[in-house]
Amino acid sequence: MKILFLGNLNCIVVIMLNIRLIPTILLKDGRMIKTKQFGAYRDVGNPKTVARMYDAQRADELIFLDITATIEGRHTLLDVIRNVAEECFMPLTVGGGITTLDDALEILHNGADKIAVNTAAVNRPEFLTELAEKFGRSTVVASIDYKKNSDGKNEVFTHRGTYPSGLDPVSWAVEVEHHGAGEILLTCIDREGMMVGYDLETLRSVAESVEIPMVAHGGAGTVQDLVDGIVIGKASAVAAASIFHFTDQSVFKAHAHMKEKGLPVRLI
């Protein structure tokens, strides 16, 4: 942070990196869906229309996560990303089924800026290194999904929350950083779609264990949850979906609330 005195503005201006507010768009077969705890799918619309609205509301970035498992679905994903990137000149992160450098390249060539990898990184952590060497570390996002296991401990799950990995989210976060990830998208499956607030304790444990930025995801239900994710959870950015779909909170209102609470956000 730096305080500047600028004669022409006649005020004190604090310069610092703005907190990012990131709507997430979950995709299945080219449609946008919403889930609860990774289940109970609901179709919530056309991703391009939704992305256009978020762009107009000055969202700071968009994260697309695709859960389609078919080859045809892969082409549909590329179409969606290309369609969005054609008119939304804003940062786009895309994840879902990326297992090779070519998969990543294809997505980047269609307008994405960062690629999110989840299952493939757990299966083969060196994949993160290969991606970082080819595309630069700042292009590589490690997406980590975790929930409480039957022992009551947090455990990382892959394959859209269906396969237990045996990994602890905090130690796995340290490992993905070591392997080349430039950012972590941390999703609490138990809270996803439930609108009960972020898992602040785990967010904070991860944030304090790594030097790369962490995006909080899973559970935001009010604009104050977003602020808590930053202030208490120590996240660099907050991602959310339900709050923008199922409440009257827009990206505008969320930004305004964050600003009111003293967080640096982009001025419109």
Partner 1 sequence: MIVVVDYGLGNLFSVKKALEALGAPVTVSSDPDVVLAAERIILPGVGAFGDGMRNLKERKLIPALCESVLERGIPFFGICLGMQLLAERGTEYGEHNGLGWIGGAVAKVNIADKGLKIPHIGWNQIIFKKEHHIFNGLKPLSDFYFVHSYEFQPSDSQYLLAVSQYGKEITAAVGRKNIVGTQFHPEKSQDNGLKLLENFISWKP
Q: Which residues of this chain interact with partner 1, rule CB under 8 A?
A: 1-2, 4, 6, 8-9, 13, 15-20, 55, 58, 60-61, 82, 85-87, 89-91, 108-114, 132-139, 182-183, 211-214, 236-237, 266-267
Rounded least distance, CB 43 to partner 1, Å: 28
SS3 250: coil
User: Taking a C-beta distance cutoff of 8 angstroms, is the pair 215, 186 a contact?
Assistant: yes
Residue nearer to partner 1 on the CB measure, 118 or 139: 139
Rounded least distance, CB 196 to partner 1, Å: 27
Measured distance CA(109)–CA(115) in Å, rounded: 11
Task: State how far the alpha carbon of 26 is from the alpha carbons of 45, 136, 211, 240, 242, in Å.
Answer: 11, 25, 27, 11, 11
Residue nearer to partner 1 on the CB measure, 125 or 213: 213
Rounded least distance, CB 168 to partner 1, Å: 21
Q: Strands 154-158 and 140-148, how do they pair?
A: antiparallel
Residue nearer to partner 1 on the CB measure, 136 or 166: 136
Task: State how far the alpha carbon of 50 is from the alpha carbons of 27, 82, 215, in Å.
Answer: 12, 14, 21
Question: Any bridge partners for residue 260, and if so which?
Answer: none
Q: Please give the backbone phi and psi of residue 259, each rounded to the nearest 5 degrees, phi first.
A: -65, -40
Residue nearer to partner 1 on the CB measure, 32 or 131: 131
Residue nearer to partner 1 on the CB measure, 101 or 196: 101
Q: Please give the backbone phi and psi of residue 230, each rounded to the nearest 5 degrees, phi first.
A: -80, -50
Rounded least distance, CB 223 to partner 1, Å: 19
Rounded least distance, CB 56 to partner 1, Å: 10
